[in-house]
């Protein structure tokens, strides 16, 4: 997918004043302040922001795992607008901890979401195997999670997320626990599969690096209550298909990095010293 196309692509999801508060004893904590945002069809959107600013909460709302306190979300399903709908739920979210089942083989883990969607065995195994091959685990179809490294387990999660064919792929710091080399390999794999499948991805990360390398746009959130501070269009700097190392070696990279960090820094320091500020 080329960026120009993504820039002018129709919206996939539109948030109108979406907000979320939590009751904490007698007090109410505003986790997400009203957010207006348009996420385009096929876009790779990264979200960065200080700890506790509501990123996970926002993803969970998008996944339908958490209700918003107010506002409206419009989804486009098969070209039709739905103002009440949610994206399909089946594991469209990839978490930091891979969340795969230890008692199931790689094949069954990846096919799991399809099984709960009622897809027959032959079809779901065929789809699962296709994605297991794509993430480079072709020789590990019958292996169990305890026979895999952390990076391999995260590959299983990614294969499962794509195999479910979700409307939107929601990823919450999926590579945060991985070593640098594995992370770069998986970022490249993710980009390749994303380019092939043209999924809409919303990806939360603490890493500015990762946000630049992966995304079409980076959305920077303020300290809690999380609002949109700035959205930076990355696609204008780095065309697709991308090569992670090339991007990191380019002069523009430092510039873009500086711009994101200076916006983020104000928010990270705004949060410092606040009692309970970093609680999860």
Ligand X SMILES: Nc1ncnc2c1ncn2[C@@H]1O[C@H](COP(=O)(O)OP(=O)(O)OP(=O)(O)O)[C@@H](O)[C@H]1O
What is the binding site for Mg ion (CB under 5 A)? 56
**By C-alpha distance, which of 161, 156, 138 is closest to 146?**
156
CA distance 164 to 88: 9
Near ligand X by CB under 6 A, which window of 49-57, 72-80, 136-144, 189-197?
49-57
Q: Do 33 and 90 touch, CB atoms closer than 8 A?
A: no
- Count CB neighbours of 104 within 10 A: 15
> Which 3 state secondary structure label does DSSP give 2?
coil
Which of 29, 65, 268, 270 forms a contact with ligand X (CB under 6 A)?
29
54 in contact with ligand X (CB under 6 A): yes
Least distance to ligand X from the beta carbon of 267, Å? 11
Burial (CB count <10 Å: 0-12, 13-18, 19+), residue 248: middle
Using CB under 6 A, which of 12, 19, 40, 55 touches ligand X? 55
Helix, strand or coil, per DSSP, at residue 225: coil
In angstroms, how far apart are the furthest CA atoms of the chain? 56
**224 is an interface residue for ligand X by CB under 6 A:** yes
∠101-104-106 over CA atoms, to 5°? 95
User: Site for ligand X (CB under 6 A): which residue of 34, 42, 52, 174?
Assistant: 52
Nearer to ligand X, 122 or 280 (CB): 280
57 binds ligand X (CB under 6 A): yes
Given ligand X, Mg ion, none, residue 157, with its beta carbon under 5 to 8 Å by kind, binds: none
Interface segment toward ligand X; rule CB under 6 A; list 21-29, 179-187, 252-260, 266-274: 21-29
Binding partner selected for residue 187 from Mg ion, ligand X, none, CB under the kind-specific 5 to 8 Å limit: none
The rounded distance, in Å, linking the Cα atoms of 87 and 103 is 28
Q: 32 pairs with which residues across the strands? A: 20, 226
Number of residues in contact with ligand X under rule CB under 6 A: 15
DSSP helix/strand/coil, 260: helix
**CB 211 → ligand X: shortest distance, Å?**
13
Q: Examine residue 31 and tell whether it contacts ligand X (CB under 6 A).
A: yes
Which span sits near ligand X by CB under 6 A: 47-55, 145-153, 156-164, 176-184?
47-55
> What residues make contact with ligand X under the rule CB under 6 A?
22, 24, 29, 31, 49, 51-57, 224, 279-280
């Amino acid at each position: 997918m080329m960026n120009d196309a993504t820039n002018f692509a129709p919206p996939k999801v539109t948030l109108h004043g979406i907000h979320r508060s939590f009751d904490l004893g007698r007090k109410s904590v505003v986790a997400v302040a009203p957010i207006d945002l348009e996420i385009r069809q096929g876009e790779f959107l990264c979200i960065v922001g200080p700890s506790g600013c509501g990123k996970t909460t926002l993803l969970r709302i998008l996944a339908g795992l958490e209700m918003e306190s107010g506002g409206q979300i419009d989804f486009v399903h098969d070209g039709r607008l739905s103002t009440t709908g949610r994206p399909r739920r089946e594991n469209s979210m990839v978490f930091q901890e891979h969340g795969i089942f230890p008692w199931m083989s790689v094949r069954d883990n990846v096919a799991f979401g399809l099984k709960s969607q009622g897809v027959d065995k032959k079809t779901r195994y065929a789809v699962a195997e296709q994605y297991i091959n794509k993430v480079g685990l072709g020789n590990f179809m019958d292996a169990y999670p305890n026979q895999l490294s952390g990076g391999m387990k995260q590959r299983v999660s990614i294969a499962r997320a794509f195999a479910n064919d979700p409307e939107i792929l929601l990823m919450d710091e999926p590579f945060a626990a991985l070593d640098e080399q594995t992370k770069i390999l998986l970022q490249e794999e993710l980009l390749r599969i994303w380019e092939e499948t043209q999924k809409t991805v919303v990806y939360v990360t603490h890493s500015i690096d990762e946000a630049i390398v992966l995304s079409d746009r980076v959305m920077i959130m303020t300290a809690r209550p999380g609002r949109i501070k700035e959205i930076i269009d990355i696609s204008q700097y780095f065309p697709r298909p991308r090569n992670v190392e090339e991007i990191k070696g380019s002069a523009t990279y430092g510039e873009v990095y500086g711009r994101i960090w200076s916006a983020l820094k104000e928010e990270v320091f705004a949060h410092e010293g606040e009692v309970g500020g970093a609680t999860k």
